[in-house]
Homo-oligomer: A and B are copies of this chain.
């Protein structure tokens, strides 16, 4: 399981006074797709016990066309690269045939306590399910 298609409708609270989806919301959209990919692989990004977490170290987006209220769109997310401690995803957001946005973001596996957070190898079960 290394990619997933996630569908979503634009909600009113996603829009801003320019009448289109606020640019910060796209990071929520790609994150929702990422977590849906994990669920499709039988995982949760917040594993039971909660000792590890996956904070982001980088995120970027290019916006090609705006999204409007009530439009349905799809996020295609793919694992583009995996190192021992990190996962880099690429995402493509489309509305029908129209390319809306493309992006990439990288999450690192960390041990939450004792503070401060410290990068650790991704647990084996996660590696296997996301291969």
Contacts and interface: CB of A to CB of B under 8 A. Distances in A.
Interface of A: 11-13, 15-20, 22-25, 27-28, 31-32, 35, 39, 44-46, 53, 55-63, 66, 69-70, 105, 112, 117
A22 B13 CA distance: 7
Contact of A24 (B20, B27, B45): B27
Given A39-B70, A58-B61, A63-B58, A24 B31 contact: yes
Contacts of A66: 55, 117
A59 B101 CA distance: 11
B61 A60 contact: yes
B13 A16 contact: yes
Contacts of A53: 18
A32 B9 CA distance: 10
Please tell me how many copies of the chain the complex holds. 4
Given A55-B63, A58-B60, A58-B63, A23 B27 contact: yes
Contact of A12 (B16, B59, B62, B105): B16
A16 B22 CA distance: 9
Nearest to A54: B18
A20 B116 CA distance: 12
Contact of A60 (B12, B32, B39, B60): B60
Contacts of A45: 12
